[in-house]
Structure 1
Amino acid sequence: MKQYSSIRSVQILAHVLQQYGIDKVVVSPGSRNAPLAIHFSEMDAMQCYSIVDERSAAFVGMGMAKALKKPVAITCTSGSAATNYYPAIVEAFYQNVPLLVLTADRPGDYVDIFDGQTIRQNNLYQQHSYGDFQLMEDTEENSYDYNLDTVKKAVELCIEKSGPVHINIPLSEPLYNLVNELPVLPSIESSIQLKNFDFSSNLAAEWNTSKRILILVGMQDPNPELQMQLSQLVKNHSAVILTEVTSNLDNEKFFSHIDRYIFNFKEEDFKTYTPDLLITVGQNVVSKKVKKFLREAKPKHHWHIDEYWQPDTYFALDRKIETKPEVFFGKLLNNISLEPSSYFNLWDVLRDKMDVRHQESLPKIGYSDFYLFNILSQTIPAEYNIHISNSSAIRYAQLFDFNKYKTYCNRGTSGIDGCTSTAMGFAMMTDEPTLLITGDISFFYDINGLWNPYIPPYTRIVIFNNGEGNIFRIIPGPSDTNAVDELIATQHHRTAELLAKNFGFDYIKAEDEMSLDRVMEAFFKSGPKPKILEVMTKDEHNEDKLKAYFENLKS
């Protein structure tokens, strides 16, 4: 026999979620949100996933939403539990990942009277959400109509903005009164309006009169339609297209290793390679070098194409084009001439030279973090979705051919805190295997990302354990201080072996070239458990080998 919550606001909430096809809910345990957990778990069209740690749970929900490409709901109890959602909400805000955040709360008159787990929850995430809503309790006048309308607005905003929206739900005791049947609630008619984009003839004129066109694509999900459109633009060398690993674009005429090509640019190079027209697509760009180049270059025109964000990253933005990139380029291609450009040849000569130096450098760099990324780029099976943690991991990946894979990274705020949890949430929602490549600090920071009973056996994690946050020896500054070992790089002697056993993963360790080469093939073979490969590089002076690589590129 079904056991639904008797609380009308909870019934309304579940009904509206079902009407909009939101059928995945990440539940963290608690008493105040128990009515939601009980009710959602009895709904035939809903699936609930229990993740204990709220910080991890929110990132798991974000990973699920990225895989599904639709909203996922997360729900927790009141008080500090709700504050633990914040890191993932910020990341989802800047990545435009649709999270519907459902926080249970004490009654409003309990706030600030020192009742347990009672804080100022209303508008808690206001700085980093696309909407903040609070429901009425059932006993309040007009609560039925108000709550039905409020939940509808919140859900539609989450879908329309593709980002986090918060619904705070005050609930008075008793919390565990149940009913066996639900009242009939009205069907919901969506009021989401499709956006139209009108292509301006001025855009075509600016394109056709620009001799040096540079398109820089930042972080975005795989987009086959955009892939075809940009491939058409470079077919006759009409534009230069710079991409990163997180651009999820792959074409031999795209320039896919930005730092390899421009790391040694001087002031005169900024002038030589300056575009007339800069077109940026997508969100965050990893490369600090390309940001410096384009800020110094001062292009005459800069267009940014994105539905949600129009940041003036390069201090030259003069056209904010608020639409999907495939919509924009589809119309652009119908209105411009595609003429060969000497600007493409200029970049192509640079690429050929630096690619040769890159290949010549590889045999000189022995076993290290750098060596691992080179091996991974050649051996990961094509069907894998790859998640890469922040800090040095994503920077190493930029140097190698990971652009042939579907690749994800939490570059919204670029933090290390939820990389594992996000990858595990993604893995839960796809039949394709998922690989997380992570540094040791990022992995240990998010250990609870593995406290998750839903991780599929075809999930893989590669940890490169250099015994510290080695990024702080790569970037200039920290190594010149006395605090670097303990307080900045945070040296340690931990390994993941016992953690793997505790969370039910098979564990493999590599400590040199020979052992790494020997275990790599077996690591990707199917098995009954997910697997962790820990590659130990603590004594390999990784930062020196990376610096030597860039020195080799100069020669």
Structure 2
Amino acid sequence: MEKRYSDEKHVQILVSLLKQHGIRRVIASPGTTNSGFVTSLKYDGSFEIYSSVDERSAAYLACGLAAESGEPVVITCTGATASRNYMPGLTEAYYRKLPILAVTGAQHYSKIGHHIAQVIDRTVVPNDVAKLSLSLPVVKDDTDRWDCEIKVNRAILELKRNGGGPAHLNLPTTYTREYTTTTLPDYRKIDRVLIDSTFPVLDPGKRVGVFVGAHATWSEEATNALDAFCSTNNAVVFCDHTSAYRGRYRVQYALAAGQSSYNIAKASKPDVLIHIGEISGDYASLSIRGTEVWRVSRDGELRDTFGTLTHVFEMSETAFFEKYTRSKRTDDVYLHFCQERYREIYERIPELPFSNIWVASVMADKIPGNSVIHFGILNSLRSWNYFELPQSVSSASNVGGFGIDGGLSSVIGASLYNPAKLYFCVIGDLAFFYDINVLGNRHVGKNVRILLINNGKGTEFRHFNHYAAQFGASADEYIAAAGHFGNKSKDLVKSFVTNLGYTYLSAATKDEFMLAYPQFVDPQMLETPMVFEVFTDSEEESKALELIVEIDEGERLDKAKQFAKKIVGEKTFGIMKKMLKK
């Protein structure tokens, strides 16, 4: 029977991406674990394949072929010591920067270390054998497919990166005998673009979004470059409180993007999303994926945050934006659409329970100008991302490692830089107590103000939409870690911080908060640092989140009720409603 492409998806991905990246030359050595790959290459018919029984010789053959042609060459062999014999030739390739991709067949990785014949450990290779060594997954689902696509693209792109050199892929096999695939799917190709490369075309008719993760302070030059890019490309900049960008195309979009019934794909999804900055804690806006994503970063790494990455631009953001800035301005239709969408949702925010979100709604625009505010992850950052801060306020959060362990220390460390500037922090009780020792540091200045949201637990785990919500109140014991640190004691924090010389404020109701918070946001520097402890309840916190992400849903239900009343009449509708409640 004629053998076609192997039905192993990871083999198909490798063959497909080799073709798309223009790699055609292969030197194959005999073996079983790489036979599905070699058979698929042969069936495809577009590869120039050579045979070599001796793997050591095969690697050196590839050195000569790559050096002469100036193009990448693939070498492939089976498991066991066959792969070890590639090392001399790959060492040669490493020091001569020759683009050779070694694809070594393997049995399943779980067999390593169990005295199974022909299974050796190739998970670590010598530093000067390959610039990059990766192990491909056996593709069983979409997550495996995504992982495999990224790894194959990374290995292929590494062949020419920074002058070039060899790369290595471990290719496992399931020993399938199925070769029924006649048409090779087009798996996702990713290109790396350098400053001297040919740049892809950015169609002027496309809607463009710029997503900014956590970002260093923007220079005036960088801000102007992004503004100019947006003004000529009908673009908008999606930001949160870690993005640092304060140009005219900024949109704080979490409130709109986070609506549970909001269809991003039909509404504000861009055709092309430019991804800059680092990790983002704005989970809501991460739904703005873009049909294709262009990543711009000096590191040139494949960061496929949105799952639709097609290009990586290894250059400064300013250079990228200047390259794509056109001569003619657009009418900013996309910007106006997103601004209006946010405004329309904002104006329908209902009365919220006493919670971190309610506190943010009251106080976000009252933070004194030219101050700095840090947010604890995850609940505090999300709660405050729904609301804009004053233009001159800068903000940050520890979203790099995304842990609760250093929020207080980070803001106090930042406050040491400029004693004349106010530094605020919004933090939950578990994170506060985790890092409480820094409050006793003798360098803490009077410019520090801490807003402690104390609900007596990790309230994140009690939200209605969290995975742990299925456990109800029983989640408190171990998942949400309730009851520690005085269990919302009214005296513990007060006694501790006042003995350290802090001014202490507290509130357990909306009325108490409204009386106390003006002192907390007083723009005048006071004589002591300050802690404002706000006692909330996890059920109210969850209800506030539910209300704010279902503003659209509430409007939809109201409209449905009105429609039903028109159809069946007010009296009949009332009877039906009573019956449904029984």
Q: What band does the TM-score fall into relative to the shorter chain?
A: 0.5 to 0.7
Matched, 1:548 2:542: no
Question: 1:512-547, CA deviations, whole angstroms, 9 ceiling, x for partnerless residues?
Answer: 222222222222342221110111113761111220
Taking a change above 3 Å as real, the CA distance of residues 537 and 462 of structure 1, as seen in their structure-2 partners, is same
Runs of at least 4 residues off by over 6 Å: none
Rounded Cα–Cα distance in structure 1 between residues aligned with 2:334 and 2:318: 27
Report 1:49-128 matches (<5 A).
none
Amino acid aligned to 1:377 = A
Matched, 1:213 2:208: yes
Contact 2:239/2:245 (8 A) holds in 1:
yes
Contact 1:216/1:242 (8 A) holds in 2:
yes
Matched, 1:505 2:525: no
Question: 1:421-477, CA deviations, whole angstroms, 9 ceiling, x for partnerless residues?
Answer: 111111112232211111111101111121311011111111111222111122422
Tell me what 1:111 maps to.
Answer: none
Taking a change above 3 Å as real, the CA distance of residues 208 and 477 of structure 1, as seen in their structure-2 partners, is closer
Tell me what 1:359 maps to.
Answer: 347
Contact 2:229/2:322 (8 A) holds in 1:
no
Rounded Cα–Cα distance in structure 2 between residues aligned with 1:266 and 1:462: 32
Contact 1:440/1:464 (8 A) holds in 2:
yes
Q: Which runs of 5+ in 2 are unaligned?
A: 1-192, 556-582
Amino acid aligned to 1:303 = R
Contact 2:229/2:321 (8 A) holds in 1:
no
**What number of residue pairs does the alignment pair up?**
349
Rounded Cα–Cα distance in structure 1 between residues aligned with 2:262 and 2:256: 14
Matched, 1:515 2:515: no
Q: Please, which of 452, 463, 486 is the counterpart of residue 477 of structure 2?
A: 486
Q: Please, which of 214, 236, 239 is the counterpart of residue 243 of structure 1?
A: 239
Tell me what 1:397 maps to.
Answer: 384
Tell me what 1:531 maps to.
Answer: 530
Question: 1:270-322, CA deviations, whole angstroms, 9 ceiling, x for partnerless residues?
Answer: 2554433221110012233433441xx542x5233344754121233333223
Matched, 1:451 2:440: yes
TM-score, with structure 1 as normaliser: 0.58
Rounded Cα–Cα distance in structure 2 between residues aligned with 1:403 and 1:244: 13
Rounded Cα–Cα distance in structure 1 between residues aligned with 2:515 and 2:380: 22
Rounded Cα–Cα distance in structure 2 between residues aligned with 1:286 and 1:253: 20
Tell me what 1:318 maps to.
Answer: 310
Rounded Cα–Cα distance in structure 1 between residues aligned with 2:234 and 2:388: 24
Taking a change above 3 Å as real, the CA distance of residues 487 and 200 of structure 1, as seen in their structure-2 partners, is same
- Secondary structure (helix, strand or coil) at the match of 2:252 reads coil
Tell me what 2:425 maps to.
Answer: 436
Report 1:3-42 matches (<5 A).
none
Rounded Cα–Cα distance in structure 2 between residues aligned with 1:526 and 1:350: 37
Taking a change above 3 Å as real, the CA distance of residues 387 and 213 of structure 1, as seen in their structure-2 partners, is same
Point out the more displaced range, 232-241 or 545-554. 232-241
TM-score, with structure 2 as normaliser: 0.55
Taking a change above 3 Å as real, the CA distance of residues 415 and 504 of structure 1, as seen in their structure-2 partners, is same
Amino acid aligned to 2:416 = M
Q: Which runs of 5+ in 1 are unaligned?
A: 1-196
Tell me what 2:410 maps to.
Answer: 422
- Secondary structure (helix, strand or coil) at the match of 1:429 reads coil
Q: Please, which of 251, 257, 261 is the counterpart of residue 255 of structure 1?
A: 251
1:348, distance to aligned residue in structure 2 (A): 3.5
- Secondary structure (helix, strand or coil) at the match of 1:499 reads helix
Contact 1:261/1:350 (8 A) holds in 2:
no
Amino acid aligned to 1:466 = N
Rounded Cα–Cα distance in structure 2 between residues aligned with 1:375 and 1:292: 27
Task: Tell which has more relative contact order, 1 or 2 (C-alpha 8 A, sep 6+).
Answer: 1
Larger radius of gyration: 2
Rounded Cα–Cα distance in structure 2 between residues aligned with 1:202 and 1:210: 21
Contact 2:349/2:548 (8 A) holds in 1:
yes
- Secondary structure (helix, strand or coil) at the match of 2:210 reads strand
Taking a change above 3 Å as real, the CA distance of residues 487 and 448 of structure 1, as seen in their structure-2 partners, is same
Amino acid aligned to 1:476 = H
Report 1:345-384 matches (<5 A).
345=333, 348-349=336-337, 351-362=339-350, 364-384=351-371
- Secondary structure (helix, strand or coil) at the match of 1:478 reads helix
Q: Please, which of 389, 392, 397 is the counterpart of residue 409 of structure 1?
A: 397
Q: Please, which of 447, 456, 460 is the counterpart of residue 471 of structure 1?
A: 460
Rounded Cα–Cα distance in structure 2 between residues aligned with 1:445 and 1:230: 39
Taking a change above 3 Å as real, the CA distance of residues 466 and 309 of structure 1, as seen in their structure-2 partners, is farther
- How many percent identity over aligned positions? 21
Rounded Cα–Cα distance in structure 2 between residues aligned with 1:210 and 1:199: 24
Rounded Cα–Cα distance in structure 1 between residues aligned with 2:317 and 2:480: 39
Contact 2:195/2:315 (8 A) holds in 1:
no
Rounded Cα–Cα distance in structure 1 between residues aligned with 2:341 and 2:256: 10
1:209, distance to aligned residue in structure 2 (A): 4.9
Contact 2:462/2:480 (8 A) holds in 1:
yes
Contact 1:210/1:276 (8 A) holds in 2:
no
Taking a change above 3 Å as real, the CA distance of residues 311 and 217 of structure 1, as seen in their structure-2 partners, is same
Taking a change above 3 Å as real, the CA distance of residues 426 and 350 of structure 1, as seen in their structure-2 partners, is closer
Rounded Cα–Cα distance in structure 1 between residues aligned with 2:270 and 2:345: 25
Taking a change above 3 Å as real, the CA distance of residues 261 and 467 of structure 1, as seen in their structure-2 partners, is same
- Secondary structure (helix, strand or coil) at the match of 2:227 reads helix
Taking a change above 3 Å as real, the CA distance of residues 266 and 394 of structure 1, as seen in their structure-2 partners, is closer
Rounded Cα–Cα distance in structure 2 between residues aligned with 1:271 and 1:339: 26
Rounded Cα–Cα distance in structure 2 between residues aligned with 1:517 and 1:309: 48
Contact 2:276/2:296 (8 A) holds in 1:
yes
C-alpha RMSD of matched pairs (Å): 2.7
1:256, distance to aligned residue in structure 2 (A): 1.2
Taking a change above 3 Å as real, the CA distance of residues 422 and 235 of structure 1, as seen in their structure-2 partners, is same
Contact 1:208/1:337 (8 A) holds in 2:
no
Rounded Cα–Cα distance in structure 1 between residues aligned with 2:284 and 2:257: 10
Contact 2:249/2:335 (8 A) holds in 1:
no
- Secondary structure (helix, strand or coil) at the match of 1:360 reads coil
Contact 1:462/1:532 (8 A) holds in 2:
yes
Rounded Cα–Cα distance in structure 2 between residues aligned with 1:320 and 1:308: 6
Contact 2:355/2:541 (8 A) holds in 1:
yes
Tell me what 1:328 maps to.
Answer: 320
1:216, distance to aligned residue in structure 2 (A): 0.7
- Secondary structure (helix, strand or coil) at the match of 1:245 reads coil
- Secondary structure (helix, strand or coil) at the match of 1:508 reads strand
- Secondary structure (helix, strand or coil) at the match of 1:231 reads helix
Rounded Cα–Cα distance in structure 1 between residues aligned with 2:257 and 2:395: 21
